[in-house]
Amino acid sequence: MWKSHLNQKMADRERKKRSWMVQWDREADNNATTLPLGTVRSDNDNRREMDIYAQLEFMKLAALVRCNSENKRPDSNDDPSRTFICLNIGKGLKLTHQRLLVGSLTLNILLLTVCVSLLLLYLKVDVKVSRDLEEELRMNQSYLSEFLQEEKELSNVLHTNLSSLWQEHTFLRENTLSLLLYNQTQHLQAIENLEQGLKVINENFSLLEEQYTYLKENHLLVPRKSILLENCKQGDLKIASMVCPYCSPGWQLFNMSCYLLSSSALSWQESMQWCRRKGAHLAVINNAEKQYFMLGLVKKTSWIGLSDRDLEGDWRWVDGTPYDKTTTFWSLKQPNNAGNEDCVTLSPGTGWNDDKCFKAYNIVCEHNAYQLSLNGDMLSN
C-alpha cells in the first residue's frame, strides 16, 4: 500500500518537473525569439540563467542519489517501478540538460551573430570615417602648404623691408646726427637772440605803456576811422597839418557849414528862433554851388535867411552877409511883393520866392562846421 502511494507521489513530482521544464523551455524560446538584434544581455539575466542551471544540476544529483540509495536497500530489487522512475528522472534531466545546452548554444550563436554584425557595421563606419578624415587631412595639408608658402613670401618681404630699414637707420645715424647737433646749436643761439629781443620788446612796451597812460590821462584818443576825421582837408602846408570839419549827428556838412532840415512848419520869425535855439541861423545862399546843394537838400518849400522887412527892396541876410544882386537865384517874375511879401522861401527844383512872413513853412538852418586840426598823430580843436 505504501509502495503504491510512493509511486503515485513520485509520478506527480515527475509530472510537475516535466511541466515546469516544458514551461521553462517555452519561456527560453520566447525570450530567444523576442530578443532584438544587437541587444546585450544584462548581468541579472546571466545571473538568473546560472541559478537555473545550478538548480537543475542540484535536482538531478539529488534524484540520482535518492535512486541509488533506494536501490542499495535490501528490498529495492523487489520494486521495479522505482527503478523505472529513477531511470525516467535521469533521462528527463538528461533531456532537459541537452535542451538547455542547445538553447545556450543558440543564444551564444545569436549573440555572436549580433557581435559580428556590429563589428562589420563598425568596420564599415570606421572605413567611411577614415576616408572622410583622410580627405579632410588632405585638404588641411593643401591649405597648410598654401599658408606656409604665403608665410614664406611674407617672411621674404619682411626680411627685405628690415634690411632697407636697417640701411636707412645706419644712414640717418651716420649723416643726420651731426646735422641735428648743428641745428640744435643754431636753435639754442636763436632762442638766446629771441630772449634778448623779447627783453628789448618788454622794455619798449613798458615805455609805450607809460606814454599811453600819459596820453590817456591828458588827451582824448580818437580812432582813425572816427567820423570826426572823415572830412579832413589839407591845411597849412608849412606845418603839414589837416583841418577836419565835422557836424553834430543829424546835420549835413557842406563846404565848412552844417545844415539841418526841420520836420515841422513854422512862420519866418518862429523859424529864426528855432534855429537860434540850436546854435544856428536860417540858411544863407551866396553862391551857385551852395544854391545847387540846397535845391537837392530841401524836399518842401522852406524858409531861408533873406528878407526886406525893415525896408522894402533892401534885402538882407540874417547873419549880416552882404546881399549881392549879381548872385541871386529868384524864380521867374520874383520878387513881386504881392500883398506885402517880405520873407524869402526856397522851393525844390525852382528857386527863391518872396512870401508873407506869417505863413508856415519848413526850415533850413545853418551854422559853421566844427573844426579839428590833425598834426601828425595829435588832434586838437
Domain assignment present for 64 = yes
Question: Could you say which of 112, 137, 162 is where a domain stops?
Answer: 137
Q: Say whether 316 sits in a helix, a strand or coil.
A: strand
**Phi, psi at 343, each rounded to 5°:** -120, 150
- Between the alpha carbon of residue 254 and those of residues 80, 257, 289, 364, 367, the distances in Å are 178, 5, 10, 13, 11
Are 131 and 248 in the same domain?
Answer: no
**Phi, psi at 180, each rounded to 5°:** -65, -40
pLDDT at 6 over 60: no
pLDDT at 313 over 90: no
pLDDT at 346 over 70: yes
Q: Looking at residue 89, what is its pLDDT?
A: 53
Domain assignment present for 158 = no
Higher pLDDT, 300 or 68: 300
Domain assignment present for 319 = yes
CB atoms within 10 A of CB 98: 10
Of the listed ranges 169-173, 290-294, 365-369, the one predicted with least confidence: 169-173
**Phi, psi at 40, each rounded to 5°:** -100, 125
| Mean pLDDT computed over 51-58 | 63
Host domain of residue 250 = 243-380
Domain assignment present for 172 = no
pLDDT bin (cut points 50, 70, 90) of residue 317 is very high
Domain assignment present for 354 = yes
**Phi, psi at 198, each rounded to 5°:** -65, -35
Of the listed ranges 86-100, 128-142, 306-320, the one predicted with least confidence: 86-100
Total length of the chain: 381
Distance of CA 186 to the CA centre of its chain: 46
Write the CATH number for 256. Answer: 3.10.100.10
Q: What CA–CA distance (Å, rounded) separates 70 from 78?
A: 11
Domain assignment present for 194 = no
Question: Could you say which of 76, 108, 137 is where a domain stops?
Answer: 137
| Mean pLDDT computed over 365-371 | 89
pLDDT tens per residue across span 168-202? 878 777 777 777 788 888 888 889 889 888 888 98
pLDDT at 145 over 50: yes
Closest CA to 85 of 54, 106, 111, 63: 63
For 261, counting Cβ atoms within 10 Å of its Cβ (0-12 exposed, 13-18 middle, 19+ buried), the class is middle
Q: Looking at residue 215, what is its pLDDT?
A: 64
Are 6 and 127 in the same domain?
Answer: yes
- The DSSP output letter for 361 is B
| Mean pLDDT computed over 74-92 | 51
Higher pLDDT, 293 or 44: 293
Q: What CA–CA distance (Å, rounded) separates 34 from 37?
A: 9
pTM beyond 0.85, yes or no:
no
Counted domains in the chain: 2
Question: Could you say which of 109, 137, 165 is where a domain stops?
Answer: 137
Domain assignment present for 228 = no
Higher pLDDT, 268 or 64: 268
Domain assignment present for 155 = no
Would you say 337 and 353 are in contact if contact means Cβ atoms under 8 Å apart?
A: no
122: number of CA atoms within 13 Å, CB side? 7
pLDDT tens per residue across span 215-253? 666 555 555 555 556 666 655 444 456 777 888 888 998
Higher pLDDT, 237 or 99: 99
